[in-house]
Amino acid sequence: MHVFVLTGAGISAESGLGTFRDTDGVWAKFDPMKLATPEAFARDPQHVHEFYNHRRCGLLAAVPNPAHQALARLERQLVAEAGGVFLCTQNIDDLHERAGSRHVHHMHGELLKSLCTRCGARAPCTHDLSILDTCASCGSLNCLRPDVVWFGEMPYGMEEIEAALEASELFVSIGTSGAVYPAAGYVELARSLGIETFEVNLAPSENAHAFDRALYGPATEAVPAFVTELLEAR
């Protein structure tokens, strides 16, 4: 069985990482249009660096939760049966990987990587970035940015995502509000392909109507329950 899983900030909420649109979410304190756009970075790069440096510190102190671990268990079981999980995450954290998921696609990039705006080099990044940094590959000064996809920028691996979705028998959306495109459009694409759709979330998302089935509750309870039910039902 091949399952396509889309995750959002809600799966990492109980690991202590903020969501975007909940009342106490990250964007409630910061305006994304002032921080998560290339224009914002061009206008005030150090301010944007400080926003991501703060979130990187938080991530390094966080640990995966039972929801991340349940998806890693699902992947191990299905791979053992010649199936698999295509885990497409909107999140820029590495909690899926630290929980043991092997095939993770970060469509919005990764907070623990830097990207050189001059030569395109990517490098692991667990430290603060600033305008005083130089690129280890090309030596340019003040050219590094977090390797994340900002509003108005093309998400990573769109063709790979759509090919994986077409090859799946089940589409599962976990911990996302369904507010940001193109990720929010994947459930409609799944439906148009005749693929069963399932939502696992704290509360119904903006596109809850598009799902065949749903399970609501905190991810640390709902995701392990969902995985157990899916593995037992086959």
Please, what is the minimum distance in Å from the beta carbon of residue 139 to ligand BV8?
Answer: 27
Task: Assess 9 for contact with ligand BV8 (CB under 6 A).
Answer: yes
Query: Are the C-beta atoms of 158 and 182 separated by less than 8 Å?
Result: yes
> Can you tell me the distance from the alpha carbon of 170 to that of 189, in angstroms, rounded to the nearest whole number?
12
Q: Give the containing element (helix H, strand E) for 231.
A: helix 219-233
Q: Site residues for Zn ion, window 103-122 (CB under 5 A)?
A: 116, 118-119, 121
Return the residue of 135, 184, 195, 210 that touches Zn ion, per CB under 5 A. 135
> Can you tell me the distance from the alpha carbon of 25 to that of 206, in angstroms, rounded to the nearest whole number?
17
Question: Hunting for tokens 């926003």 — which residue is that?
Answer: 51
Please, what is the minimum distance in Å from the beta carbon of residue 4 to Zn ion?
Answer: 34
DSSP of 181-196, one letter per residue?
TTGGGHHHHHHHTT-E
CA 41 to chain centroid: 21
Instruction: Please choose, out of 69-77, 117-125, 133-141, 197-205, the segment that lies near ligand BV8 by the rule CB under 6 A.
Output: 197-205
Site string for ligand BV8, 96-125 (x = CB under 6 A): ------------x-----------------
As given in the structure block, the two tokens for residue 121 are: 């080099």
- The single residue of 49, 68, 96, 108 carrying the catalytic annotation is 108
Please, what is the minimum distance in Å from the beta carbon of residue 213 to ligand BV8?
Answer: 16
Task: Check if 49 is active-site.
Answer: no
Q: Give the containing element (helix H, strand E) for 1.
A: none
> Which residues are annotated as catalytic?
108
Using CB under 6 A as the criterion, which residues of the chain lie in contact with ligand BV8 when the complex forms? 8-10, 13-14, 19-22, 25, 36, 90, 92, 108, 148-155, 175-177, 179-182, 201-203, 205, 218-219
